[in-house]
Amino acid sequence: LEAIRTSAHTHEVRIGQLLSAAPHWDNPRNHCISILDVLQDPDNADLKFIVMHLCIQFNYPLFDTVGEVVHCRNCSGFQFQSEFGRNRDCNFTNFVEDPDIYPDGNFHPASPWVDSTYQKPTHPITRTECWPRVSIIDFGLSRQYDPSFGPPRFGGDNTPPEHRTPKLKCNPFPTDIYFLGNLMR
């Protein structure tokens, strides 16, 4: 589950649902997380909960080989997403992977380096043994827009050159690629 304050992240639910629906979900280039359901908080009109399948952070355990990094297919996922909007927040916290590297399923969802009882260390297999699916999450800064309407959005990585000129109007796709390069580095 992910709690969303819709007043702060007005586009997250809509863009996430767009990328999770047919015909987009069946596209092999789509590496966005599948949203299973959206629940409205009955006591707070500003709060929604996005329901997704169980995933783990994608950078633990560390990658063993260059092939594991390349297999993530982050580039094709971003290229696909760019056809429908811009991510604007490509950093390691916005990628998850299926927990296939834990074939016995015994891991703690919030801390996959320990078992579900939080008592013993886990023993994941390598990604080359199972090739888990890596998914893009968190569409809070994503937008469908014309670059002429404004400057790029700020996300977790504030180092792009276009962020030095706050009023600069530019195509956000190259900035997303810049973010992706920093992620791979």
Confidence of residue 140 (pLDDT cuts 50, 70, 90): low
CB 47 within 8 A of CB 4: yes
Residues 32-69 pLDDT 10s: 888 999 999 999 999 999 999 898 888 888 888 887 87
Strand partners, 5: 47
- What mean pLDDT do residues 84-90 have? 60
Query: CB–CB of 61/99 below 8 Å?
Result: no
* pLDDT (0 to 100) of residue 51: 94
Q: Which residue has the higher pLDDT, 2 or 182?
A: 2
Which of helix, strand or coil describes residue 48?
A: strand
pTM, two decimal places: 0.72
Among 15-19, 83-87, 177-181, the minimum mean pLDDT is found in: 83-87
Mean pLDDT of 77-89: 64
- Segments making up each domain of the chain, as ranges: 2-184
Residue type, 66: V
